[in-house]
Structure formats: structure tokens, C-alpha cells
């Protein structure tokens, strides 16, 4: 049991610093909308991950194989991400021009939770990652439900704690914010999300051999 925890903690730490659209939106939410808003968004992401892990655990290799034969899912998810990034990029920020500094924007916590769940959920690459991880890690845990639960619970808790630290550190930047900086931050985040969306779309056009489950698993295991 202790070995499972020790193995999960470094992986959870690594996952917290994996660069993706959610990573940038989490930091943006923390800086612009505050700590509680960012936590609500992050909880949505974590809840989405939990559903993906459950789906991966009960579906495993067969689902991964099916995903490799459905590149349209990558195109669909990538298109949604790119569209969302475009909206963020061109959306105007409401600011009060006579103020040199701004206060955190008011946030609907439930809306942010759904936003985190949605953005993580439409990224097919996240599901593929969890599927591959379950397939790679499962045998080392002897396929025992209690060990699997302990491993992935530890991983997600570690991941969430690191995210809380990132949110707390990002929040300190609020004092330095001006309307112009906020606008630039949102445009940068929007551009990054569009890029990730385009990458997902490109994956949808790759030859099936490059979406082969065995190759994906091999990459995860390295």
C-alpha cells in the first residue's frame, strides 16, 4: 500500500505541471477572478478526470482501440477548443478606465466548475492518457480495486494540492494587474487554447498507425 502511494505522488506532481489548455486557464482564472473561482474551475477538471479514470478502468484497452479508429473525435474536440479560444481572444473585457488597478472579477462558481469539467472533457487526449495509464499501471497493482483506488486517489489529491499552490502563487499577481494587462493575459490564453485545438485537429488527420493504442501505451510507459 505504501509503495502505491509513493509511486502515485511523483506522478501527481508531474501531472500538475503538464502544459495544456487547462493549465493556462487555471492560472488566468486565479489571476483575474481570484482564489475561490480558480478552485471551482479546478474541481470541475478533477471531477472530469475522475469520470475518465472510471471509464478507463471499466473499459480499458477496447475503448482505447476504438478511439484510435475514430479520429473524428479529435477533430471535434479540437474544433471546440479552437472555437472557445477564439471567443476568449476577441471577447472584450469590461474595465473601468479611470482605475490603474483592478479588482478580481465576480465569478459564478458553479459556472466555473462546469467550465473546468467541459474544457477537460472535450480534450480526447486526456481520456487517451488515462486509458493508457490504467493499462500500464493496472498490472503492477495486480488489478486489485483497493490498490487501484488508493493509487489514483493519491495521484489526484497530489495533483489538486499542487494546483492549489499554483493558484495561491498566481493570486499574488492581482495587485499588479491593470485593465491593459488583463486584456493581454486573456488574449494570450485564448491564442494558446487555439493552438492546442489545432494540434488536436491535426491528430485527427494523422494516419491510423500513429494513433495505434500500443504506440500510445509505449509512449506513456517511457
Give the position of cell 474544457.
119
Residues 6+ apart with CB under 8 A from 48: 116, 117, 118, 120, 121, 126
Assessment of whether the complete model's pTM goes beyond 0.75: no
Residue 214, pLDDT above cutoff 50: no
Pick the residue with more confidence: 173 or 131? 131
Residue 156, pLDDT above cutoff 80: yes
The whole-number pLDDT of residue 37 equals 92
Beta strands in the chain (DSSP E): none
Q: What is the pLDDT of residues 14-36, one digit of tens each?
A: 888 877 788 888 888 888 888 89
Domain ranges of the chain: 2-221
Distance CA 101, CA 99 (A): 5
Q: What is the pLDDT of residues 60-108, one digit of tens each?
A: 656 555 655 666 767 776 787 788 778 778 876 554 444 444 455 566 8
Amino acid at each position: 500500500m505504501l509503495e502505491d502511494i509513493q509511486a502515485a505522488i511523483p506522478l501527481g506532481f508531474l501531472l500538475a505541471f503538464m502544459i495544456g489548455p487547462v493549465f493556462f486557464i487555471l492560472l488566468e482564472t486565479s489571476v483575474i477572478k481570484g482564489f475561490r473561482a480558480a478552485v471551482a474551475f479546478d474541481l470541475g477538471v478533477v471531477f472530469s478526470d475522475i469520470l475518465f479514470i472510471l471509464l478507463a478502468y471499466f473499459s480499458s484497452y477496447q475503448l482505447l482501440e476504438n478511439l484510435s479508429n475514430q479520429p473524428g473525435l479529435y477533430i471535434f474536440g479540437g474544433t471546440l477548443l479552437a472555437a472557445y479560444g477564439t471567443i476568449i481572444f476577441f471577447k472584450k473585457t469590461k474595465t473601468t478606465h479611470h482605475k490603474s488597478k483592478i479588482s478580481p472579477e465576480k465569478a459564478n462558481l458553479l459556472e466555473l466548475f462546469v467550465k473546468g469539467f467541459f474544457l477537460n472533457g472535450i480534450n480526447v487526449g486526456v481520456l487517451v492518457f488515462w486509458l493508457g495509464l490504467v493499462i500500464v499501471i493496472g498490472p503492477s497493482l495486480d488489478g486489485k480495486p483497493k490498490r487501484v483506488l488508493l493509487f489514483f486517489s493519491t495521484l489526484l489529491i497530489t495533483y489538486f494540492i499542487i494546483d492549489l499552490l499554483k493558484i495561491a502563487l498566481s493570486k499574488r499577481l492581482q495587485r499588479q494587474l491593470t485593465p491593459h494587462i488583463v486584456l493581454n493575459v486573456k488574449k494570450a490564453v485564448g491564442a494558446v487554447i487555439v493552438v492546442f485545438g489545432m494540434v488536436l485537429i491535426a491528430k485527427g488527420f494523422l494516419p491510423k498507425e500513429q494513433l495505434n493504442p500500443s504506440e500510445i501505451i509505449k509512449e506513456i510507459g517511457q
